[in-house]
Amino acid sequence: MDFASSFALVAPELVLTAAGLVLLLVVAWGGDKLARTVAIIAAAALFAAGFLTIPGLHSGVDGPDSYAFGTLMKIDSFALFAKALIYLAAIGALMVAPAFFASPAAGKERGMRAEYPVLILFASLGMSIMVSASDFMTLYLGLELNSLAAYVLAAILREDQRSAEAGLKYFVLGALASGILLYGISLLYGFTGATDFASVRTALDGDLSTGQLFGLIFVMSGLAFKISAVPFHMWTPDVYEGAPTPVTAFFATAPKVAAVSLTARVVFEVFGGQVLAWQQIVMFAALASIVFGALGAIGQQNLKRLLAYSSINNIGFILLGLAVATADGASAMLVYLFIYVAMSIGSFVALLMLRSPDGDLYETFADISGLAVTRPAIAWALLIQMFSLAGIPPLLGFYSKFVVFQATVEAGLVVFAAIAIAASVIGAFYYIKFVKVMFFDEPAGLVTGKSGTAHWVLLALCAAIISPLGYLLTPSLTDLADKAAAALFVAI
């Protein structure tokens, strides 16, 4: 494996690195007045990086051809699929930001800080490395690059107490999770003598020793923190509520995709020989996330907090696809991730459009009362998102649950599927509460502010994907997800 072909494989990361470094210098000298230009260039860089993933996605890459820099990175179809999703989500987070930071909701410092796009770029770069890691060192490097950028993003409104609190909480708990993960990695290294996935897998062959089992459990716990699966979900509602809404939209999508993909890669490529050992952990986390995510959301009044619990709930269904431990399950998980990203971005964009005439943001149930009368377009878009999140056909959210449950049942886990789907009814309760407040209650008449074109475009796009029209996408989506999932199983 020569360097030239390695560099060709990591071209998207190179684009992001170059753009990030250059823009950082621009920001250092140019200051905040260039923020908009920097955001546009950052979005262009993300778009270009995304464009570079298309050929590989299309033809399907797996096996030895996909290794870069020895065995440090593995840029296979699976990594490309996750990267494309991450870049899309990051572009979304850039598009919605300027209007938010210009509003009174952003506190005393009006206007977007120019660091915001740069941090998004570095976070995306970190995630990009995470999903293509095939060595625990690369994994940790990507994870920390993403996390450090994310801590700063959560606290980017320096004057705002909630934002600072969210940043601190995220940092402390994130550091704890990284520590746990690192400890697990060190245990695995100690008991296997290697850090690259393939060698660790070979060394783990057969029954796990106690030390190896502890390593597996610590690694899984650290990853569960990052994807905010129950029982490591406590930080999510606080961070989601406190962080600025565009950042919350980013947190709910891109890092979730990256962490879930990373988890999938670790369980299949490292612990692929010990399915029974991790399957029960993932299955428990999946069912617990579905149930607690749904129950926790019921009493919430703050919409961002509610969506945080909803994301925990959704992670449960995604993990259900992972717990199946088949290629079908992994493919279903990727399809779910795609649809989940579209639904999350759509919901958060809609939240960002709930503005007062002077541009302030509303984020509780009382504020959106009777929205269908005052702002019917936003209300209908939110209605589609909510029914889709609840998994009611014919919206695309149903299809995501459909593929996951189909894979679960086909793998013979009928009882788990039955429990999970029964628990999804609890979730429906608060999703339809959204609809009830917007459509059935008397109009509060608060939301009257106008929204920018970028918001409308994103909202319309997400609504179109989620609507039954989205089924037109499913053949190619299924095809890509199948290729990506197959790449995970080449080694096995």
Partner 1 sequence: MDFPILTVMMLVPLIGAVACLLAAPAARTIALGATLVTFGLGIVLWASYEIGGAQWQFHESYELVAGFSYAVGIDGISLMLIMLSVFLMPICILASWEAITKRVGEYMAAFLFMEVLMIGTFAAQDIFLFYIFFEAGLIPMYLIIGVWGGDNRIYASYKFFLYTLLGSVLMLIAMFWMVAQAGTSDIPTLMQYDFPPGAQLWLFLAFFASFAVKMPMWPVHTWLPDAHVQAPTAGSVILAGVLLKLGGYGFIRFSLPMFPEASADLAWLIFTLSMVAVVYTSLVALVQHDMKKLIAYSSVAHMALVTAGLFAFNVQGIEGAMMIMLGHGLVSAALFLCVGVIYDRLHTREIDRYGGLSINMPFYAVFFLLFTMAAVGLPGTSNFVGEFLALAGIYQASSWVALICTTGIILGAGYMLYLYRRVAFGTQKNEDAAAMPDMTPREWAMMAPIAAVVLWMGVYPESFLAPMRADIAALDAQIAAAAPASEAQLAAGEPRPEAANAVEYESHEGEGEH
Binding site for partner 1 (CB under 8 A): 372-373, 387, 392-394, 398, 402-403, 405-406, 408-410, 414, 417-418, 421-422, 424-425, 428-429, 432, 435-436, 439-440, 471, 474-475, 478
Closest approach, Cβ 373 to partner 1, in A, equals: 8
Closest approach, Cβ 456 to partner 1, in A, equals: 17
**Calpha distance 224→235 (Å, rounded):** 12
Q: For partner 1, give the closer residue by CB, 99 or 423.
A: 423
Q: Is 454 helix (H, G, I), strand (E, B) or coil?
A: helix
Cβ(339)–Cβ(399) under 8 Å?
A: yes
Q: What angle do CA 70, 73, 75 make, to 5 degrees?
A: 115
Residue 2 CA to chain centroid, in angstroms?
Answer: 33
Closest approach, Cβ 28 to partner 1, in A, equals: 50
**Calpha distance 197→188 (Å, rounded):** 11
Closest approach, Cβ 385 to partner 1, in A, equals: 13
Could you check whether the bond before residue 231 is cis, i.e. omega within 30 degrees of 0? yes
**Calpha distance 467→381 (Å, rounded):** 10
Closest approach, Cβ 225 to partner 1, in A, equals: 30
Short-list 429, 449, 432, 443, CA closest to 369 = 443
**Calpha distance 197→174 (Å, rounded):** 24
Q: For partner 1, give the closer residue by CB, 42 or 343.
A: 343
Closest approach, Cβ 401 to partner 1, in A, equals: 9
Closest approach, Cβ 398 to partner 1, in A, equals: 7
Residue 127: how many CB atoms within 10 A of its CB?
Answer: 32
With residue 360 as reference, give the H or E element that holds it: none
Closest approach, Cβ 296 to partner 1, in A, equals: 18
Q: For partner 1, give the closer residue by CB, 251 or 434.
A: 434
**Calpha distance 372→235 (Å, rounded):** 33
Q: Residue 111 region, left (φ>0) first, then alpha (ψ -120 to 50), else beta?
A: left
**Calpha distance 437→422 (Å, rounded):** 24
Q: For partner 1, give the closer residue by CB, 409 or 460.
A: 409
E strands, 256-329, are none
Closest approach, Cβ 402 to partner 1, in A, equals: 7
- State the DSSP code for 437: I
Q: For partner 1, give the closer residue by CB, 158 or 436.
A: 436
Separation of first and last alpha carbons in the chain: 22
Q: For partner 1, give the closer residue by CB, 7 or 440.
A: 440
Q: For partner 1, give the closer residue by CB, 262 or 327.
A: 327
Q: Is 301 helix (H, G, I), strand (E, B) or coil?
A: coil
Q: For partner 1, give the closer residue by CB, 436 or 450.
A: 436
Q: Is 302 helix (H, G, I), strand (E, B) or coil?
A: strand
Q: For partner 1, give the closer residue by CB, 7 or 429.
A: 429
Closest approach, Cβ 458 to partner 1, in A, equals: 22
Q: For partner 1, give the closer residue by CB, 24 or 460.
A: 460
- State the DSSP code for 363: -
**Calpha distance 209→220 (Å, rounded):** 16
Phi, psi of 473 (to 5 degrees): -75, -25
